[in-house]
């Protein structure tokens, strides 16, 4: 692996085996269980080759079910690729997605300490950074409120603030800003995106929101039914993406 390649995927595919519920009596069900006819194979991601360098901002676009989230899980190593594939990641990563990442029973303070500690910060680091995190997330009034009372926007702000201040080398955002965050917060996150390259922070951004991708991405990947259809500059790929959506719609109408 080259020195500044932080995420590398080689021939990565991912097949899920799903057992469908078979209707019928117990005998029929156990028969299909034994001969395996109730197992369905779903190829979520097919044969992806990709290298992401330190400081890059990579966007991933594609229709629902095209394998974007699975690809993120493969990058982090949470999912293991099918035999023959190789995935590796270098550095501390954090994956941000809406609704996940925090324990609703814990307060904002406790969640910050827990997540920060797991990211590798010491308690004294966190004591120093605590104010900054809370101010960045604009949650000064909710420090001791349990997360379950937080709105989606508040959670998103908190998660992003933790990720930024815990100095994650790689931030993977999975539909993270989907409709949350007011203008002020957008401005702040834009600052982070702008300085990411200088700080050597890698960002992978899965989104339907084209604005951020268009503005900051160095490269964009278009996924279609698990395959990497194209990689290129934001303008090029977003244009292609819009056209594929239109084509899909047309072909559906013809059927």
Contact positions vs other proteins (CB under 8 A): 16, 73, 76, 78-80, 89, 91-97, 100-103, 105-106, 110, 113-115, 117-124
Q: In this complex, which beta carbon is closest to other proteins, that of residue 89 or of residue 213?
A: 89
Q: Which residue in this structure is represented by tokens 């819009």?
A: 242
Q: Is 135 exposed, middle or buried (0-12, 13-18, 19+ CB in 10 A)?
A: exposed
On whether the CB atoms of residues 184 and 22 are closer than 8 A, the answer is no
Q: In this complex, which beta carbon is closest to other proteins, that of residue 103 or of residue 194?
A: 103
For the chain, the straight-line distance linking the first and the last C-alpha, in angstroms and rounded, comes to 47
Pick from 165, 161, 160, 173: which is nearest to 58 by CA?
173
Minimum distance from residue 220 beta carbon to other proteins (Å):
23
Q: In this complex, which beta carbon is closest to other proteins, that of residue 48 or of residue 87?
A: 87
The tokens for 177 are 């800003």
Q: Which residue in this structure is represented by tokens 């964009």?
A: 220
Residue 2 φ then ψ, to 5°:
-60, 160
Minimum distance from residue 84 beta carbon to other proteins (Å):
16
Q: In this complex, which beta carbon is closest to other proteins, that of residue 17 or of residue 249?
A: 17
Q: How far apart are CA 89 and CA 87, in angstroms?
A: 7
The tokens for 52 are 């992401």
Q: What is the DSSP string of 41-54?
A: EEEEEEEEEEEEET
Q: How far apart are CA 217 and CA 203, in angstroms?
A: 9
Q: In this complex, which beta carbon is closest to other proteins, that of residue 161 or of residue 220?
A: 161
Q: In this complex, which beta carbon is closest to other proteins, that of residue 80 or of residue 131?
A: 80
Minimum distance from residue 79 beta carbon to other proteins (Å):
6
Q: How far apart are CA 100 and CA 178, in angstroms?
A: 14
């Amino acid at each position: 692996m080259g020195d500044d390649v932080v995420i590398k995927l080689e021939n990565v595919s991912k097949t899920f085996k799903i057992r469908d519920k078979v209707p019928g009596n117990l005998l029929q069900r156990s028969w299909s269980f034994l001969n395996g006819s109730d197992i369905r194979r779903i190829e979520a991601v097919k044969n992806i080759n990709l290298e992401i360098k330190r400081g890059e901002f990579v966007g991933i676009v594609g229709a629902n079910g095209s394998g974007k989230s699975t690809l993120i899980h493969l990058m982090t190593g949470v999912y293991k690729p099918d035999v023959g594939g190789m995935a590796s990641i270098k550095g501390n990563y954090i994956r941000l997605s809406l609704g996940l990442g925090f324990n609703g029973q814990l307060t904002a303070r406790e969640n910050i300490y827990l997540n920060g500690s797991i990211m590798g910060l010491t308690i004294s680091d966190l004591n120093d950074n605590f104010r900054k995190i809370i101010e960045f997330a604009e949650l000064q009034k909710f420090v001791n409120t349990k997360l379950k009372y937080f709105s989606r926007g508040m959670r998103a702000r908190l998660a992003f603030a933790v990720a930024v201040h815990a100095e994650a080398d790689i931030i993977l955002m999975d539909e993270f800003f989907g409709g949350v965050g007011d203008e002020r917060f957008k401005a702040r996150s834009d600052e982070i995106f702008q300085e990411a390259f200088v700080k050597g922070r890698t960002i992978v951004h899965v989104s339907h929101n084209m604005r951020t991708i268009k503005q900051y991405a160095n490269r964009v990947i278009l996924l279609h039914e698990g395959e990497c259809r194209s990689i290129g500059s934001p303008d090029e790929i977003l244009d292609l993406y819009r056209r594929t959506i239109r084509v899909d719609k047309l072909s559906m109408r013809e059927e």
